Amino acid sequence: MTIDAKAQILWQLTNLQPGPHVAAFSASLQGRRDAQAIHGTCSESSEDPGPRRVARGALPLIDEPVARLLRMKTAMVRPAG
C-alpha cells in the first residue's frame, strides 16, 4: 500500500467519507452491537443455565471491542466549524 493510499484511507475515516473502509468499520461496530444484544438477551432470559452462563461469559469479550470502536468513532468525527 502506498503512502497516498494510506493517506486516502485515513482521510476517509477521519472525515467519515463514504468508502469501503468506513463501511467495514460501520459493519464491524453494528455486528458487535448485534452480538451484544443477542448475548444480553440470552444471559437474562434463557431458560437453560448453560447458554445463560456462556452468554454472560461472552459479554465482556464483546463489550471491550464495542467500547474501543466507539472511542475510535468519537475520535474520527471532527466537530463542524
Between 10 and 27, the higher pLDDT residue: 27
Give residue 1's pLDDT.
66
pLDDT at 79 over 60: no
Domain extents in the chain = 28-74
Cell triple for 27:
459493519
**pLDDT bucket at 25, cuts 50 / 70 / 90:** confident
Give residue 60's pLDDT.
95
- Is residue 48 within a helix (H) or strand (E), and if so which, with residue range? none
**pLDDT bucket at 44, cuts 50 / 70 / 90:** very high
For 15, list phi and psi in degrees, rounded to 5: -100, 5
Can you tell me the distance from the alpha carbon of 49 to that of 42, in angstroms, rounded to the nearest whole number? 10
Cell triple for 32:
458487535
Q: Name 25's Cβ contacts closer than 8 Å, sequence gap at least 6.
A: 13, 69, 72, 73
